[in-house]
Amino acid sequence: MNSKDNTFVIDANSRTPLNLKEIWEFRELLYFFAWRDIKVKYKQTFLGVTWAFIQPFLMMLVLNIFFGQMLHFPSETLPYSVFAFTGLIIWNIFSSGTINSSNSMLTNAVIIKKNYFPRIILPLAAVIVSLFDFMVSFILFGGLLIWFRVLPDFFRFIAFFPLAVIIALITTIGTGVIIGAMSIRFRDFRIVMPFLIQLLLFITPVIYPISAISNKTLYYVLALNPMAGAISLARAALTYNPVDWTIIAISGGMAVFIFILGLLVFKKNETLISDLA
């Protein structure tokens, strides 16, 4: 390797744009951070990785008893358990991903202050951890579909479900890096985030279908929350019901907007991170 020809310049007056090439160069570090967090998270626990599906499973049971069996919430032709579980695993990508990535700067402050790497790797690694949890619970999800004999159309599922996950992921990355960068400057975010996420859960159609909203204006306003579109789309992947592409488009557009905004906000604050962390 002849890296001696790699001239580098550090100039206080030039603001470099988001350096994708550099992030690519540090991809192994991204992998190691994610790997470390996954390993450490499950290594010490008695049940290990099983926790990744015990949590949504118990949540689903409780939701099913109260909202499915007792309150008879509508569930778009799906068994309520499957309906709720689909919502939960997509929602969990967002909730755990956002909280973890917004904490990632502070929990790794020691490393940030003593080493250089593109800082955005930390929130990205945190989102990968959430994606891993999602994949584990996806196995249980498969079992659930078999148990309730929900047989989705293969091509519809292959087309819709990954798209739903992608919308959820870019929303999570966008929100995670914004909050991550801001929590370096204002520690308040660390306290307020879990609470905000809880609030958001209620305005996201996790335990109810978005189609249950009869007020048309409110219906479209709710779609501004990208997770609403992501969850609706994930459920649509399991049924043969018609899809309201307007809300998917609104949610998808918002997801892309949040993603780009996140990268811009992060880039703007990146230089401050090691000084303030």
Partner 1 sequence: MKTILEVNNVSKKYSLSGINPAYQTLSGSMTNFFRGGKSNEREFWALNDVSFEVKEGDTLGIIGRNGAGKTTLLKIISRITSPTSGRITGKGKVTSLLEVGTGFHLELTGRENIYMNGSILGLKKKEIDAKLEEIVEFSGVEEFIDNPLKFYSSGMQLRLAFSIGAHLEPEILAIDEVLAVGDSLFQQKCIEKMTSIVKSGRTILFVSHNMQALKTICNKAIVLDAGKKVFDGTAEAAVDFYNTEHRLQGQTINLLDLPRGKYAGELIFRELRFATPAFQYGEDIAFTVLLKTVNPSARKDNVIFGANVVDRFGNNIYHISNILTNQPFTHNSDNDEYRFSIKNNLRPGQYRLTLCLTVNDVVQDFFTELINFTVEEGNPYGFSKTEFIQGLVFPGFEIKQIID
Q: Which is nearer to partner 1, 117 or 148 (CB)?
A: 117
Q: Which is nearer to partner 1, 211 or 274 (CB)?
A: 274
268 near partner 1, rule: CB under 8 A:
no
Question: Is the separation of the CB atoms in 160 and 235 below 8 Å?
Answer: no
* Distance in Å from the first CA to the final CA of the chain: 35
Q: Which is nearer to partner 1, 155 or 275 (CB)?
A: 275
Q: Please select the residue that binds partner 1; options are 4, 72, 149, 216, rule is CB under 8 A.
A: 4
- String of contacts with partner 1 for each residue 31-70, x by CB under 8 A: -x---x--xx--xx--------------------------
- Name the token pair of 273: 């991170």
Query: Which is it for the CA torsion 232, 123, 277, 99, positive or negative?
Result: positive
163 near partner 1, rule: CB under 8 A:
no
Q: Which is nearer to partner 1, 112 or 250 (CB)?
A: 112
Site for partner 1 in 104-123 (CB under 8 A): 108, 110-117
* Other residues' Cβ atoms within 10 Å of the Cβ of residue 86: 28
- In angstroms, give the least distance from the CB of 270 to partner 1: 9
User: Interhelix angle for 121-147 vs 27-43, to 10°?
Assistant: 60
Residue type, 167: I
188 near partner 1, rule: CB under 8 A:
yes
Q: How many whole angstroms separate alpha carbon 157 and alpha carbon 170?
A: 20
Q: Which is nearer to partner 1, 19 or 77 (CB)?
A: 19
Closest Cα partner for 252 from 150, 174, 141? 174
Side-chain-side CA neighbours of residue 112 (13 Å):
22
Q: Which is nearer to partner 1, 7 or 217 (CB)?
A: 7
Number of residues binding to partner 1, judged by CB under 8 A: 37
Q: Which is nearer to partner 1, 25 or 153 (CB)?
A: 25
Q: How many whole angstroms separate alpha carbon 28 and alpha carbon 123?
A: 15
Q: How many whole angstroms separate alpha carbon 48 and alpha carbon 18?
A: 37
29 near partner 1, rule: CB under 8 A:
yes
Question: Is the separation of the CB atoms in 56 and 207 below 8 Å?
Answer: no
Judged by CB under 8 A, the stretch of 64-72, 75-83, 182-190, 217-225 that binds partner 1 is: 182-190
- In angstroms, give the least distance from the CB of 261 to partner 1: 19
3 near partner 1, rule: CB under 8 A:
yes
Q: Which is nearer to partner 1, 4 or 72 (CB)?
A: 4
Specify the length of the chain in residues.
277
19 near partner 1, rule: CB under 8 A:
no
Tokens 């019901």 correspond to 241
Q: Please select the residue that binds partner 1; options are 184, 228, 234, 237, rule is CB under 8 A.
A: 184
- Name the token pair of 185: 């400057």
Q: ∠ at Cα 73 (69, 75), nearest 5°? A: 105
Contact residues: partner 1, CB under 8 A: 3-13, 28-29, 32, 36, 39-40, 43-44, 108, 110-117, 184-188, 271, 274-276
